[in-house]
Amino acid sequence: MGNPNVGKSTVFNEITGSHQHTGNWTGKTVDIASGKYYYKYNDYELIDLPGTYSLVTMSEEERIARDFLLKEKYDCVVMVVDSTSLLRNLNLVYQVLEITNKIVLLLNLSDEAKKKNIVIDREILSNLLGIPVVKATARSGKGINELLEEVHLICTSCEDYYTKKDVDFDDISTEFLLEKAEFVCEKAVTSAPSRKEEIEKKVDKILLGKYTSIPIMLLLFGIVLWITIAGSNYPSDFLRGVFDSFELWLAESLDKIGVPQTIISLAVNGVLRVLLWVVAVMLPPMAIFFPLFAILEDIGILPRFAFNLDRPFEKCGACGKQALTTCMGFGCNAVGVTGCRIIDSPRERLVAVITNSLTPCNGRFPLLIAVISMFFCENSFGAALILLCFIVASILVTFACSKVLTSTVLKGVNSSMMIELPSFRMPRFLKLIGDTVREKIVFVLLRAVAVAAPAGLIIWALANIKVGGTSLLCSIADALNPIGHFIGLDGVMLLAFILGFPANEIVIPVALMAYLSTGEMSDYSSLESLKSILTDNGWTAVTALCTCIFSMFHFPCSTTLITIWKETKSVKWTLLSILTPLTAGTALCALINLIFE
């Protein structure tokens, strides 16, 4: 066990290799990993407890770690600490020593400590703590064999493995433990500021500065958005071309073997087209945005973003870590929702989950960029600034909705935020790409594809089934016109947003299908042709503005909604996750329409 971000999981993976599995500890919601290894004719099982800073405060992770230490049977505790931050880590070590002294202290990240001119005298530290100490660099495997030997010696030294001390954590003085930790560090640690540390301090003065932090955050985020938007156009166009050719080939092949045209149209122009459209539009932006986001996180910039935004989120009754989950939502709201697991407080975690859909994901960017370029600014630089203004607006609405939630259905006392401000380091590109593809891109894409196929069937049916010479799609759009006009849209766009529930990427193609009264989804050849179609159907600048606002603030897509249900296991919170952005978007659009009508 150990603090977050000390390399605990790296140690676990290095020892257990592929002999590991993850599951819920009985009655708990946080996963615990376990694995097996063999050493000196003995079989061992290694449990990886959740990272925690303390056993005294009561987040879910801390409850699990504390209950495990107090109630479960184990032979030895491996305490993994960061050699560059020994003082902070010793607080938890002393708390565990209150329960058991069968501990091996692993000084991980020894290479980083050496770079920072930090020298830890292992013998002095071991004598002062009364436990064996091992220096290691887990990611290179250094020190792991020595660790296994020390664990082996403790586990075979006596038969009474499971003896624990009686301890009441309410009686533990954290101030006294801190004094002990400071004394130990004074005796065992010598350090001199390195050039790297001096540079990091100067960079942090800028990144965390009162007047510089927010502009730099916006600048960096703007660069990430620009790279994502500019870089995704070409692969998206390529995929569309490949998929169009595949659709044509498949339709011709089915026709040759005598498949009826209705079935071909349903299967190819309906189900398959929507599915492939979602892949073509979603995959390239995700493949660019998520790795860039992961690089910022690995460098150490994102934790500083959370630190900067902690104060405004705290004023809204939320948590600064919500800043991280909000940033994740710009890539995909489903990923942002799963990212809310990093928030310890269940109440604040729910606030982050419910409001994450207020963040425009990359699936909404194509519509936003197209509408901005057609109706507000053709210049790419100006369009990028307007898009950034919309994004800032989404953050302000997130603050407002968080405040409303924490003042009504989610009242409670704010938790304190303890967040790691890690040292800056070069990102591990290969690992980042592998983790991003496996944990984010594939995860989101599979969920989107699962709902895109049946949605394609429904959209095709609505467009091709006619009553009185008019398709159901157009009939429903006409029926929705009064509601659409009330919020500055029309029935077609409102229906397009509803049918875009499987994936926001198909909103424009569905709208075109209704405007042009075609029986299948089709793309626009240019922004000029699209603008001509929209203005011919009554669009104005007010319609364009309301469309952008409603695109940012409406119900979550199906992938996000499924994720919210899986994370909360609650119909109540899932419904509130729909109503919160929908209410905000409807109110703002109605107000704008009322002012400019």
pLDDT of residue 338: 87
Report if pTM > 0.75: no
Q: Which residues contact 391 (CB under 8 A, 6 or more apart)?
A: 221, 225, 330, 360
**Alpha helices (H) along 33-133:** 60-71, 86-97, 110-115, 122-129
Displacement of CA 329 from its chain's centroid (Å): 6
Q: Which residue intervals of 340-379 are DSSP H helices?
A: 346-355, 365-375
pLDDT for the residue numbered 170: 66
CA atoms within 13 Å, Cβ hemisphere of 210: 0
The closest alpha carbon to 355, from 551, 565, 562, 578, belongs to: 578
Residue 34 has phi, psi (to 5 degrees) of: -135, 150
**End-to-end CA gap in the chain:** 61
Report d(CA 11, CA 108) in Å as an integer: 9
pLDDT in tens, the chain (597 residues): 998 888 888 899 899 886 555 544 444 445 678 899 999 989 999 999 888 888 876 666 777 888 888 888 899 999 999 998 898 899 899 999 988 889 999 999 998 888 888 899 999 999 999 999 999 998 888 999 999 999 999 988 765 555 566 676 666 777 788 889 899 999 999 887 667 777 888 888 888 887 888 888 888 877 877 787 778 778 888 888 888 899 889 989 998 998 898 898 888 888 888 778 777 777 787 788 778 877 887 787 877 877 787 788 888 888 877 887 888 888 788 888 988 887 878 888 999 999 999 999 877 887 888 899 889 987 767 877 888 889 889 999 999 999 999 999 988 766 655 666 667 777 777 777 777 777 667 766 776 677 677 878 888 888 888 888 888 888 999 999 999 999 999 999 999 999 888 777 778 878 888 888 777 766 666 678 888 889 999 999 999 999 999 999 999 988 899 999 999 999 999 999 999 999 999 999 999 999 987
